[in-house]
Every structure is written in structure tokens, then in C-alpha cells.
């Protein structure tokens, strides 16, 4: 059910699901009722009770949505909340989960980010961190989930140059010697620029059979990065 799970702060957990949890996305060729049933099982495994993970309609943009309560998923690629459980879906893109300590004993500030190639180039990471701090987050830590690595994400040479001109840390070469992008390295650099500590960085999805990977198999599902408070 969970590839990685940890109580990262007292009363706050972060997790990344695996293919045992099944496809969690509604936008791939799957029965919506089956997807919703899998989401419910995931919520039960996380101990959410009557609460639900908020998913979003991800579009490779730069919008950050603030979520005050569970509802229809926003069209965004990052969400911030002050306790509402959050989820981000991926199958090679970088799922980023953040937890910020509330100032003056205020509620913690949670966030998730869908950092694909366009989002990394547009620096959606910074937009999410700024929104967290605007919502009262003090010290922020990040968990960078499983995603395709810099030795596996082959791209055209011009695309590598374009993205690396915005985020130099993404410049990479595949293990077979062709142009590539290292999106996790770019995300970690963007987090460091905002003094966000990276507490975990996940495995390569393309190289890990128990994680969904679009580059390995385009007919694939999506796993999730998750953050929630305990009740």
C-alpha cells in the first residue's frame, strides 16, 4: 500500500503509495468507481477516519491552491492547507511533500507539489513555499518522492538546454550517453534556495517495478504523495 511512510513530526505523517495501492488517478483509462474505492482504502490505511485526501486536477502549470476544506479538486499543480490532508499524483514527475511549523504554536502548514518538467522550469516549488510562508509557515521541511532520475530521463538536446538555462542543476546525461534532465536535482536546488531542508529523496520510478512509470510503460497508473495530520 505504501512505498514509504513515516510520522515526520508529532501528529503529522508523510507517505508515498506504490502499485499495491493501485492506480489513484481518474484521468487515465480506468473505471472511476474502482479508482474511488482505491482512494477510500488508502484513506483507511492512513487512519483518516471520516476525512479525505484532497486531490487536484494537475495541468503542468504554476497555480497554487489553498485548501481550507475537502471539496472538488482545484485545477492546480500545488496545494497548501493548514491541516486538510493532501495528495499529489505522479508516474515519473517529482512529487514533493512539505511540512511547515506554524508560527507561535499555530497549526502546521502542509503542501504538495506536482513538479514535472514544465513546473520545475517555471519554479512552482518557489510559488508553493511562498504561499506556505504567507499562510504562517516558519521552518519548512520537504520530502522529495520517487521520480525518474537524471540517468533515465532522456530528452532532446535543445530541451535540455532550455530547462537547464532556467534551472542549471537539471542538466544531465543518461546512463547510455544521451541528453537528459535531472528533475529531482532541480527541485532540491530550488528548495535549498528557500532554506527548505530536504529530509528524504526517493528512488527512480523507471528503475523500480513496484512504482508507476510513464517512461517505462505509457499505459500506466499514478501513485501518490500524501501528507496528513493525525486526529
- Full set of structural domains in the chain with CATH: 2-229 (3.60.140.10)
Q: Tens of pLDDT along 133-182?
A: 999 999 999 999 999 999 999 999 999 999 999 999 999 999 999 999 99
Please give the backbone phi and psi of residue 116, each rounded to the nearest 5 degrees, phi first.
-85, -175
Residue 57 corresponds to which cell in the numbers above? Answer: 486536477
Q: Would the pLDDT of 104 be above 80?
A: no
pLDDT tier for residue 105 given thresholds of 50, 70 and 90:
confident
**Residue 10: band (very low, low, confident or very high) from pLDDT cuts 50, 70, 90:** very high
Q: Where are the alpha helices (DSSP H) in 8-156?
A: 32-46, 117-122, 124-134
Instruction: Please give the residue that has the higher pLDDT: either 125 or 105.
Output: 125
In contact, 38 and 23? CB cutoff 8 Å: yes
Grade residue 80 by pLDDT with cuts at 50, 70 and 90: very high
For residues 71 and 56, what is the distance between their CA atoms, to the nearest angstrom?
10
Q: What predicted TM-score, i.e. pTM, was given to this entire model?
A: 0.96
Sign of CA dihedral 138, 141, 145, 150: positive
Which has the higher per-residue pLDDT, 106 or 68? 68
Phi-psi region of 11 (alpha: psi -120 to 50; beta: other; left: phi over 0): left
Pair 142, 197: CB distance under 8 Å: yes
Amino acid at each position: 500500500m505504501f512505498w514509504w511512510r513515516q510520522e515526520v513530526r508529532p501528529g503529522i505523517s508523510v507517505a508515498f503509495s506504490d502499485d499495491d495501492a493501485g492506480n489513484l488517478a481518474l484521468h487515465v483509462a480506468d473505471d472511476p468507481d474502482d479508482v474511488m474505492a482505491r482512494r477510500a482504502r488508502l484513506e483507511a490505511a492512513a487512519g483518516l477516519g471520516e476525512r479525505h485526501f484532497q486531490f487536484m486536477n494537475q495541468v503542468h502549470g504554476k497555480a497554487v491552491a489553498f485548501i481550507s476544506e475537502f471539496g472538488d479538486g482545484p485545477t492546480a499543480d500545488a496545494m497548501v492547507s493548514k491541516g486538510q490532508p493532501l495528495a499529489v499524483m505522479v508516474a515519473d514527475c517529482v512529487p514533493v511533500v512539505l511540512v511547515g511549523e506554524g508560527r507561535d504554536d499555530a497549526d502546521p502548514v502542509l503542501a504538495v507539489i506536482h513538479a514535472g518538467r514544465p513546473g520545475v522550469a517555471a519554479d512552482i516549488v518557489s510559488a508553493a513555499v511562498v504561499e506556505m510562508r504567507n499562510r504562517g509557515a516558519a521552518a519548512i521541511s520537504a520530502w522529495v518522492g520517487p521520480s525518474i532520475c537524471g540517468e533515465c530521463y532522456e530528452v532532446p538536446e535543445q530541451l535540455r538546454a532550455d530547462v537547464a538555462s532556467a534551472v542549471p542543476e537539471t542538466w544531465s546525461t543518461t546512463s547510455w550517453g544521451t541528453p537528459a534532465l535531472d528533475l529531482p536535482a532541480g527541485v532540491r536546488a530550488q528548495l535549498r534556495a528557500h532554506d527548505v531542508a530536504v529530509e528524504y529523496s526517493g528512488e527512480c520510478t523507471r528503475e523500480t517495478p513496484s512504482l508507476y512509470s510513464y517512461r517505462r510503460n505509457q499505459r500506466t497508473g499514478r501513485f501518490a504523495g500524501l501528507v496528513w495530520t493525525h486526529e
